[in-house]
């Protein structure tokens, strides 16, 4: 499957990382995708 638009990648990547415990945000400053571990933030 060829990707025509960058936005097509957001949902699958978000799901992939959320399954592994990451909180995902999009379009943060100059970054298209930002993730951080939820458990690391809840100390």
The average pLDDT across 16-34 equals 90
Quick one: pLDDT at residue 1?
A: 66
Is the pLDDT assigned to residue 2 strictly greater than 60? yes
How many angstroms separate the CA atoms of 32 and 6, rounded? 9
Assess contact for 22 and 35: CB atoms under 8 A.
yes
The average pLDDT across 28-37 equals 88
Is the pLDDT assigned to residue 22 strictly greater than 70? yes
Structure confidence at residue 29 as a pLDDT band (50, 70, 90)? confident
């Amino acid at each position: 499957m060829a990707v025509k638009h960058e936005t097509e990648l957001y949902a699958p990547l978000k799901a992939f990382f959320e399954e592994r415990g990451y909180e995902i945000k999009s379009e943060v400053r100059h970054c298209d995708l930002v993730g951080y571990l939820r458990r690391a933030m809840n100390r």
